[in-house]
Amino acid sequence: MSEPAVADSGEIQDPLVPDWDRIELPNTWADEINFKTWTNVGRLFRSLFKKGNGRIELPVEFPDSLMDKGELPKYLQQEFHGIPNGNFSNNITRGYISAFDGTMLGKMKPVRKEIASWFSSATRVLDIGCAGGQMAAVVKKQGIEDVWGVDPSPYLLKHGAKANPDVKFVQGLAEDLKFADKRFDGITASFLFHEIPPKYIDRALSECHRVLDEGGLLAICEPSSIQFKGGWWQMFKGYGFTGLYFKWLANHVYEPFVPAWHKQDIATLLQRHGFEVLINRRGMPEHTVLAKKLTS
């Protein structure tokens, strides 16, 4: 473990940053797939082709300092996107991280760069739901010294820490951030809120407001409703074969909380939590929002 840092904004210490290089995470069934002996192969195909998300199997225990099954909300204990054992495996999470940008046809790379540019005046940025750290890494390249990433999956965090050693990765929940009040002047959340039940969205936004300094910025990027609600012909007319692909992807990847997210009036939601919306741009396939914490 690295030594805890003291948050500038108060006496509450920052979470301990694990030494991810030395932490050995236990294999899950998804890591034991062996095509030579067909071990767990049948289970793999059931996981890939079933309707909806299955439940994940967590190891009996994790290394000290990491959250166990009893501390993870039930909504996190599902196979997001139909990925075998969800975000809890050594091998498949690595593949998910490397394949994400390809699945999104490279469209997220310029979006990340634009979002990072919004934080040119920031010095302390937190990326919640950071996964493998792609967004946090781009923010760090912006020249921001103090960049943190938070995610509930230690498997994603371990890969992220290996790829981005200058970012501080800690396990945690968006709805229960273990940081002091006003600790950061910027927060990013990329492809996070559409995977959270509505009551947890409210909690997470309350936490964002709490840990942001006065005038701090919150940047959100989520899947656009366009590819979920647009018809096939409408998508082809507007976006060509790319539109058809993202329409197919929206239908193919099971996202149980997406409809609830797309019913939200984002501007009203953020205003209710003490934010002023500066940018609210619905593109395809992404919807980006920039909001500022209102001064007391």
DSSP state, 13?
B
Tens digits of residue pLDDT in 37-95: 666 666 666 655 566 678 898 988 888 889 988 899 999 999 888 788 989 999 999 99
Q: How high is the pLDDT of residue 53?
A: 73
Same-domain pairing of 170 and 121 = yes
pLDDT of 36 over the 90 cut:
no
Q: Which of 46, 75, 102 is the last residue of a domain?
A: 102
Query: Are 270 and 291 spatial neighbours (Cβ–Cβ below 8 Å)?
Result: yes
Angle at 100 between CA 59 and CA 220, to 5 degrees: 95
Domain identity same for 156 and 213: yes
Q: Are residues 151 and 224 in the same domain?
A: yes
Q: Which of 14-23, 165-174, 246-255 is predicted with the least confidence, judged by mean pLDDT?
A: 246-255
Q: Average pLDDT over the chain, rounded to whole?
A: 91
More confident residue, 39 or 19: 19
ω before 285 within 30° of 0 (cis)?
Answer: yes
Helices (H), 50-184: 90-103, 108-117, 134-141, 154-163
Number of domains composing the chain:
2
Ranges of H-type helices in 133-257? 134-141, 154-163, 198-211, 226-229, 232-252
pLDDT band of 29, cuts 50, 70, 90:
confident
* Residue 25, in any domain of the structure: no
How would residue 107 be classed by pLDDT, with cut points 50, 70 and 90?
very high
**pLDDT, mean of residues 157-171:** 97
User: Does residue 238 form part of some domain?
Assistant: yes
Tell me the whole-structure pTM to 2 decimals.
Answer: 0.91
Q: Residues 78, 114: one domain?
A: no
CA atoms within 13 A of residue 75's CA, in its CB half-sphere = 16
96 and 221 together in one domain: no
Tens-place pLDDT, residues 267-287: 999 999 999 999 999 999 999
Which is nearest to 129 in space by CA: 164, 174, 160, 93?
174
Cα distances from 182 to residues 73, 87, 150, 160, in angstroms, run 26, 30, 17, 25
Q: What percent of the chain has pLDDT over 70?
A: 90
Say whether both 42 and 132 belong to one domain: no
User: Are residue 163 and residue 176 in the same domain, yes or no?
Assistant: yes
Of 102, 120, 155, the residue that ends a domain is 102
Indicate whether 7 pLDDT > 70: no
pLDDT at 5: 43
Residue 28 forms part of a structural domain: no
Q: Are strands 184-190 and 212-223 parallel, antiparallel or unpaired?
A: parallel
219 vs 170: CA distance, rounded Å? 20
Residue 200 lies in a domain: yes
Q: How far is CA 183 from CA 50, 126, 211, in A?
A: 43, 9, 5
Residue 137 is part of which domain span? 104-293
Which of 48, 77, 102 is a domain's end point?
102
Is residue 243 domain-shared with residue 190, that is, in the same domain?
Answer: yes
Is residue 144 a part of any domain in this protein?
A: yes
- 88 with 111, same domain? no
